[in-house]
Structure 1
C-alpha cells in the first residue's frame, strides 16, 4: 500500500477523489489548502502498489498537478474492523513507475560512488594478498556495483537509451577504479607472485554462468518486491551482485601488475560473463513484472532499445560460453578438477588393494604456458588381508589412476601422489 499527496488547483480535488475511488483507493481525504501563490486542494490517497501506475496515468490530464509519492509501505486500515488482517496482508509488488524512479535516484553523486569503488578495491586487494576470505565478503558489501548493474537492466527494460548510457558509464567507471586500485597496490608493494586465493579465484567452473543469471534475477526481484513482502534484504542481493564482480576486478588488477596475464584474462572473462548475465536476467525479470517502454510520467523509452540491448547481452553471453568450452582446460579448471576427482575415486573403489580415505585434485601451471598439471593427492587405507607392501599398493594405484586420467583426456599432465595409511595395531 502506498500513500500519495496530490495537489491540484482548488475545485479539482473532487475529480481526484473520483479517480482515486476508481483505482480502489482507501482512506481518502480532501483538504483545502493554501499554496505559495494560490489556493489549492490537497488530496490524501492510499492505494495498492499495483494501482499506482494506473492512478498516475489517469491524473496526468489534470492541470498543474503535483504528486508526492511516499516510497515506503503503509498500513491502511478501514471498516470493518475485523477485516484488518486481510487489509494488511494484501501486499503487492511495487509499481513500475516506482521501481524506475527509485533507480533514477541512485544515479546521483559521483564523488561518493567512486570513493566506495576505491575503498572496495583496497579491501579486495588486502583479502587476495593476505589470503583472507572474509575480507572479500567485506569488499562485496562495500562495492557499489549493484546500483549501476540494476540501473542498466532498468534502462534496458524501459528502453531508455540515455539512462542506459549513463548507467554503463558508471558501471565501467567503478570497475576501472577498483581494477586500478588493486593493480597500483600490487605495484607499489612489489608483489611478485600470485597468492593461493588469487589462484583459487581464477579457477572457473563450467556452470559459472548460473551465478550472474541468479544474481541479476535476485537483484531485480529485490527492487520489485514491496518492503514487507520479502525476508531477503536489499543488502543481501546487492552483495550477491557485487560478489560476482568485485573479486574478478581485483584479479584483473593484481594479475596484470605482477605479469600473470593468464590470471588477468580469467578475471576479465569472469567480469564480462557477470556483466552480460546480470543484465540479461535482470532486464527480463523487470519486463516480467510490468516495466515497459512507455508509462505514466515516462515517455522516453524506445521500443528498439530493449530487444537490441537484450540481444547484445545474449550474444556476449553465448560468445563467452563458446569460448569457455572451446578453451579447455583454461576456463573450466574447477569443473574438470571435480570430474577428475570423481574418476580417481572410481579407480580406487574398483581396486581390491585399498579403500579411499580422502582425495584432492587441482590444476596447477608449469613454467611453460599451456603446460597444465593435474595434481592429485590421494590417501588410502590398505584393505584387510592384502599382502602387498605399501610401496606396491602405491605404485599400482598411481599407474591405474594416471591411465584413467590420460584416457579421459583432461589436456593436462596427471601427477599422482598416493599415500597408504596404516591402521593402528593394538
Structure 2
C-alpha cells in the first residue's frame, strides 16, 4: 500500500475520484489547496501497489496531473479497531512504475560508482592473490554490479533505448575498472603465475548458466517485492549478482598480466553468460510482475526495442552455450573432473580385490590453452606390487581417454 497525493482542479475532482474507485484506490482525505492564484483540491489516496500505474495512466489523459508519490509503504488502519491484522495481510508487489522510477534514480553520480568498482577490484585481487576466500565474499558485497544488471533488465522489459544504453555504459565501465585494477596490481606486485584459487575459480561447469539465471530472478524479485513481504535483504541479492561477475572480472585482469590466455578466455566466457543470463531472467520476472513497454508517465518504451534486446540476449546465450558444449573440456573442467572421478570409481569397482580409499581429479593451467591434462590421484587398499599398480593406473588412463578428449595422468597409491 502506498500514499498518493494529487493536486487537481475542483471541476476534475469527481472524475478523478471515480477513476480512483474503479482502480481500487481509497480516498483518505480531501483538502483545499492553492497553486499561485489558482484554486486546487488536494486528494490524498491510499493506493494498492499494483494499481498505481494503471490509475495514473487513466487520470493523466483528462487531467493536468500533479502527483506526489511516496515510495515507502504505509500501514492503513480503519475501523473496526479489533481487526488490524486482517487489514494488513494484503501485501502487494511494488508498482512497475515505482520499480522503473527507482531504476532511474539508481543511475547516479559516476565518481562513487567507479570508486566502488575500483575498491571491489582491489579486494578481488587480494583475495585471489592471497587465496583468501573471505575476501572474495567481501568483494562481492562491495562490487557495484547489481545496479546496472537490474537496470539493464528493466530497460529490456520496458523497451527503453535510453536506459538500455546508460545501463550498458555503466556495466562496461564498472567491469573495465575492476579488470584494469586487477591488471595493474598484478603488474605492480610482479605476479608471475596463477594461484590455486585463481585456477579453481576459473574452472567452468556445465551448470554455469544456473548462477546468472538465479541471480537475475533473485535481483528482480527483490526489487518488485514489497519491503514488508521480503525476508531477503537487497545487500544479499546484490551480493549474488556480484558473485557472478566480480571474480571473472578480477581473473581477466590477472590473467592478462601473467599471460594466461586460458584464464582470460574462460573468464570472458563467464562474464558473457552472466550478463545475458541475468538480463533474461530479470526481464522475465519484471514482465511477470506487470512491467510493460507502455505505462503512466512513460512515453519512451518501444516494443521493438524490448524484442530486439531479448532476441540479442538469447542469441548471445545460444552462441556461448554452443561454444561451451562443443569445446570440452575448456569450458567444462569442473564437471569433467567430477565425471572422471566417477569413472575411476566405476573402473575400480570391477576389481573386487581393490578397495577405493580416495580419488581426486583436477585440471591445471600450467600448459598452453587446451593442452592441460587431468591429474587423477587415487589411493586404494590392495595388495599390489609396482607392476600391478602401474597396470591398474594404465587401465584407468585408457578408460578416461576413451571417454573424454583429454590426456589423463594417474597417480595411484596402493597400501594393504
Alignment of 1:26-425 (within 5 A): 26=26, 28-35=28-35, 38-382=38-382, 388-389=383-384, 391=386, 394-408=389-403, 410-422=404-416
Deviation per residue, 1:190-242 (Å, 9 max, x gap): 11111111101110101111111121122111111111112122211111111
Structure 2 gaps, min length 5: none
Structure 1 range deviating more: 222-231 or 361-370: 361-370
Cα distance in 1 for partners of 2:47, 2:415 equals 71
CA distance in 2, matches of 1:390, 1:221: 60
Counterpart position of 1:385: none
Question: By how many angstroms is 1:10 displaced?
Answer: 4.8
Structure 1 residues 339 and 223: CA distance shift in structure 2, 3 A: same
Q: Decide whether the 8 Å contact of 1:16 with 1:43 is kept in 2.
A: no
CA offset at residue 94 of structure 1?
A: 1.1
Preserved contact between residue 13 and residue 42 of structure 1 (Cα < 8 Å): no
CA distance in 2, matches of 1:27, 1:76: 12
- Any idea what the Cα deviations from partners look like across 1:159-203, whole Å, max 9, x if unmatched? 111111111111101110010010011111111111111101110
Name the CA shift for 1:380/1:36 in 2 (closer, same or farther; >3 Å). Answer: farther
- Mean CA deviation greater in 189-198 or 210-219: 210-219
Contact 1:372 1:411 in 2 (8 A): no
Tell me, in whole angstroms, the C-alpha distance in 1 between the residues paired with 2:79 and 2:24. 15
- Distance of aligned partners of 1:23 and 1:364 in 2 relative to their CA distance in 1, 3 Å threshold: same
Q: Distance in 2 between matches of 1:227 and 1:275?
A: 26
> How many Å separate the matches in 1 of 2:367 and 2:153?
42
Query: What TM-score, normalized by structure 1, do the two folds share?
Result: 0.93
- Given that 1:365 and 1:373 are in contact with CA atoms closer than 8 Å, whether structure 2 keeps it comes out as no
TM-superposed CA distance for 1:16, in Å, is: 3.5
Q: Distance in 1 between matches of 2:380 and 2:37?
A: 88
- Count residues with an aligned counterpart: 416
Shift of 1:399: 2.5
Q: Provide the rounded CA distance (Å) in 1 between the counterparts of 2:47 and 2:31.
A: 18
Deviation at 1:145, TM superposition (A): 0.7
Structure 1 segments unaligned to the other structure (5+ residues): 383-387
- The root-mean-square deviation of aligned C-alpha atoms, in Å, is 1.8
Is the alpha carbon distance of 1:121 and 1:36 closer, same or farther for their aligned partners in structure 2, counting shifts above 3 Å?
A: farther
1:79 Cα offset (Å): 2.2
Quote the offset at 1:412 in angstroms: 2.2
Whether the aligned pair in 2 keeps the contact of 1:373 and 1:414 (CA below 8 Å) is: yes
SS at match of 1:245: helix
Q: Is the 8 Å Cα contact of residues 13 and 30 (structure 1) preserved in structure 2?
A: no
Please say if residues 262 and 368 of structure 2, whose CA atoms lie closer than 8 Å, have aligned partners that are also in contact: no
Normalising by the residue count of structure 2, what TM-score does the alignment of the two structures yield? Answer: 0.95
Structure 2 equivalent of residue 5 of structure 1 = 5
Cα distance in 2 between the residues matched to 1:371 and 1:65: 67
1:368–1:240 CA distance, 2 compared to 1 (3 A): closer
